[in-house]
């Protein structure tokens, strides 16, 4: 039976125990430890949150986007009105798409920024070189780094590639399923096999990279081997996956991350607290579906005078 309510409520509502009690040991453990309940509560809270956002957008109306233009949800609501071929954009589907975007976008982006700051503080030479580039490209009288400055910051882009090579936020990408039988390096893979691609290990493979454990953005500066891309065309660097299910957020997140990092480094110098030395910084990763730092990064900002 599809579980629509908590087990105790279901029993009180007159369902028979065999309708609601778990039928396998794994389901029993989930039910008995309260995990099912927590998942239900979380799903309910998410649904309420997303329903409120959808309702507010509907109230504003598709024409009410104002000067800032349409946001992502406005576009989905407009597509619904205009009609989409073969797919009805119900409220539930729209909420699922938004939830997917939030889940896929937040932790990946914040972790990448945190690892970037950690690597820069651990490698003061790279930090100084990047701050020099930012100072060269921007002028003292401009209040903030502009999006148009980013294309002139080659080293900044190399720093992000190097951060994502060493710290792919989705180390095993997301599970894929083979659609047809294949043979890969002598291994027969039947159709419908669940596959995990270890992008983390590929990024550190000594067969593909010189000194793979070293943080050296210079490996991505210039042409030749340095031109390796990370958008799914060069298989030695696939932090965003590859193929038709590759990350669709690349063009959103790169400018956002680049702007954030360039702004943090333009306006502040960053130091470790309590006289800690860069060599003392714990660069370990915690295990999980993503790769957060084992120890959260704590830094002290020192305001810079721009000249
Ligand atoms: C540094 C930041 C990010 C990284 C490293 C990253 C990485 C990934 C990876 C590895 C996948 C799975 C691809 C595959 O298995 O082939 C994925 C999927 C996805 N990403 Fe990202 N992502 C990032 C940020 C974002 C952002 C900002 C958004 C949205 C604005 C986003 C939206 C999505 C969505 C919707 C999917 C699922 C696509 C599908 O199922 O077809 N991601 N991402």
Task: Find out whether 247 is annotated in a ligand binding site.
Answer: yes
Per-residue pLDDT reduced to its tens digit, 124-149: 999 999 999 999 999 988 999 999 99
* Sequence spans of domains, the chain: 7-94, 110-303
Rounded to 5 degrees, what are φ and ψ at 28? -60, -45
ipTM above 0.90, yes or no: yes
pLDDT of residue 105: 93
User: Ligand 1, atom 43: nearest CA belongs to which residue?
Assistant: 247
Q: What pLDDT was estimated at residue 31?
A: 81
Q: What is the reported pLDDT for 42?
A: 93
Looking at residue 12, its pLDDT comes to 57
Atom of ligand 1 lying closest to residue 164 CA: 5
State in Å: Cα 134 to ligand 1 middle: 28
Q: Is residue 64 over pLDDT 60?
A: no
Q: What confidence tens digit (pLDDT) does each residue in 4-52 have? A: 444 555 555 666 656 666 678 878 888 888 888 999 999 999 999 999 9
Interval 176-219: pLDDT, tens: 999 999 999 999 999 999 999 999 999 999 999 999 999 999 99
pLDDT confidence of residue 264? 97
Of 288 and 90, the structure prediction assigns the larger pLDDT to: 90
% residues pLDDT > 70 (the chain): 90
Mean pLDDT of the chain: 89
To the question of domain 110-303 being in CATH 1.10.630.10, the answer is: yes
Q: What's the 240 CA to ligand 1 centre distance in angstroms? A: 6
pLDDT of amino acid 1: 35
Q: Lowest-confidence range among 27-36, 49-58, 71-80?
A: 27-36
Ligand 1 binding pocket (C-beta < 6 A) is 100-101, 104-105, 108-109, 112, 169-170, 173-174, 239-241, 245-249, 252-253
Picking from 14-28, 71-85, 145-159, 233-247, which range would have the lowest pLDDT averaged per residue?
14-28
**Banded model confidence at residue 60, pLDDT cuts 50, 70, 90:** confident
Sign of the C-alpha dihedral, residues 189, 192, 196, 197?
positive
| CB neighbours of residue 180 within 10 Å | 8
pTM of the model: 0.86
More confident residue, 173 or 26: 173
Q: pLDDT value at position 5?
A: 44
Check whether 242 has a pLDDT greater than 80.
yes
Contacts 24+ apart (CB under 8 A), 201-208: 202/235, 202/236, 202/237, 202/238, 203/164, 203/165, 203/166, 203/168, 203/236, 203/237, 203/239, 204/165, 204/166, 205/236, 208/236
């Amino acid at each position: 039976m599809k579980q629509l309510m908590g087990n105790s409520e279901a029993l009180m509502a007159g369902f028979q125990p065999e309708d609601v009690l778990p039928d396998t040991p794994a389901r029993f453990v989930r039910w008995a430890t309260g995990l099912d309940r927590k998942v239900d509560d979380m799903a309910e809270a998410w649904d309420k949150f997303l329903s409120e956002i959808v309702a507010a957008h509907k109230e504003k109306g598709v024409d009410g986007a104002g000067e800032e233009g349409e946001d992502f949800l406005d576009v989905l609501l407009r597509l619904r009105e205009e009609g989409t071929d073969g797919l009805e954009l119900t409220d539930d589907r729209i909420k699922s798409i938004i939830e997917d975007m939030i889940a896929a976008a937040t932790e990946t982006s914040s972790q990448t920024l945190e690892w970037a700051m950690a690597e820069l503080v651990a490698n003061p030479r790279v930090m100084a070189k990047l701050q020099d580039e930012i100072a060269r490209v921007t002028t003292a009288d401009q209040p903030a780094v502009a999006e148009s400055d980013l294309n002139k910051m080659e080293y900044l882009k190399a720093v992000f590639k190097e951060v994502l090579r060493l710290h792919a936020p989705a180390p095993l990408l997301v599970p894929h399923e083979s659609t047809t039988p294949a043979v890969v390096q002598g291994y027969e893979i039947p159709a419908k096999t669940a596959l995990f691609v270890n992008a983390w290990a590929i990024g550190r493979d000594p067969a593909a990279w010189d000194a793979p454990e070293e943080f050296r953005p210079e490996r991505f500066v210039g042409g030749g081997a340095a031109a390796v891309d990370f958008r799914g065309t060069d298989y030695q660097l696939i932090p965003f996956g590859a193929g038709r299910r590759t990350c669709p957020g690349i063009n959103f997140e790169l400018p956002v991350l680049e702007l954030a990092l360039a702004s943090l480094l333009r306006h502040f110098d960053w130091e470790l607290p309590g006289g800690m030395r860069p060599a003392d910084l714990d660069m370990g990763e915690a295990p999980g579906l993503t790769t957060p730092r084992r120890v959260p990064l704590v830094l002290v900002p020192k305001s810079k005078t721009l000249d």
